């Protein structure tokens, strides 16, 4: 099984496997920046789509109050997509841009839990009200830390009691 297919299998296996526990602690953006900063490679997929090879660059400001993520061209659209997280008091403001649609602005709260971090907030996905979770779960592979970034939603117009994964991205260090 090549690395690309293995990454997709890991994403599918871990869908929904990391709820926010009662032991999560609210933290500021500077708690996650040093762990994620760098160049990453892996795959991205939604539950109904094909897995695509992507690269991601994650940069943090010197004060740790801004984190910028760029996911390579072709991950979803012909342009690369950007995720700009900014610390605003005790909340995090996210500006998402795909270069095609109008930018999305979202207010989130960041929590640290065993093995990772999760941004939580309320918003809309495809014109449906939702609770949004962006989780970064650490995975140790061959003494290297890799991350699984799951983008999930709990749709408020749905009777289910769980988050549905919208997309997963594996973040493996670029060698």
Would you list the domain boundaries of the chain?
3-14+23-135+146-162
| pTM to 2 decimal places | 0.82
HEC per residue, the chain:
CCHHHHHHHHHHHCCCCCCCCCCCEECCHHHCHHHHCEEEEEEEECCCCCCEEEEEEEEECCCCCEEEEEECCCCCCCCCEEEEEEEECCEEEEEEECCCCCCEEEEEEEEEECCEEEEEEEEEECCEEEEEEEEEEEEEECCEEEEEEEEEEEECCCCCCCCEEEEEEEEEECC
* Residue positions counted in the chain: 175
pLDDT at residue number 140: 85
Average pLDDT in the chain:
84
pLDDT, tens only, 31-51: 999 999 999 999 999 888 888
- At residue 64, the pLDDT reads 95
Q: What is the pLDDT of residue 138?
A: 94
Mean pLDDT of 79-91: 94
pLDDT of residue 8: 37
Tell me the pLDDT band of 9, cut-offs 50, 70 and 90.
very low
From the CB of residue 169, how many other CB atoms can be counted at a distance below 10 Å? 23
pLDDT band at 95, cuts 50/70/90?
Answer: very high
Cα–Cα distance, 137 to 124 (Å, whole number): 23
pLDDT tens per residue across span 153-173: 998 887 777 888 889 999 999
């Amino acid at each position: 099984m090549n690395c690309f297919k293995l990454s997709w299998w890991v994403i599918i296996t871990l869908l929904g496997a990391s709820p926010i526990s009662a032991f999560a602690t609210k933290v500021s953006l500077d708690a996650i920046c040093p762990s994620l900063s760098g160049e990453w490679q892996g795959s991205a997929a939604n539950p109904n789509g094909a897995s695509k090879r992507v690269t991601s660059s994650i940069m943090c400001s010197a004060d740790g109050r801004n984190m910028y993520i760029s996911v390579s061209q072709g991950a979803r659209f012909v342009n690369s997509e950007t995720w700009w997280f900014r610390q605003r008091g005790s909340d995090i403001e996210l500006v998402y841009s795909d270069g095609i649609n109008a930018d999305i602005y979202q207010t989130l709260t960041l929590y640290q839990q065993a093995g990772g971090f999760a941004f939580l907030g309320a918003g809309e996905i495809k014109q449906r009200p939702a609770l949004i979770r962006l989780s970064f779960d650490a995975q140790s592979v061959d003494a290297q830390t890799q991350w699984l970034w799951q983008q999930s939603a709990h749709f408020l117009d749905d009777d289910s009691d769980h988050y549905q994964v919208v997309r997963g991205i594996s973040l493996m260090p670029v060698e």
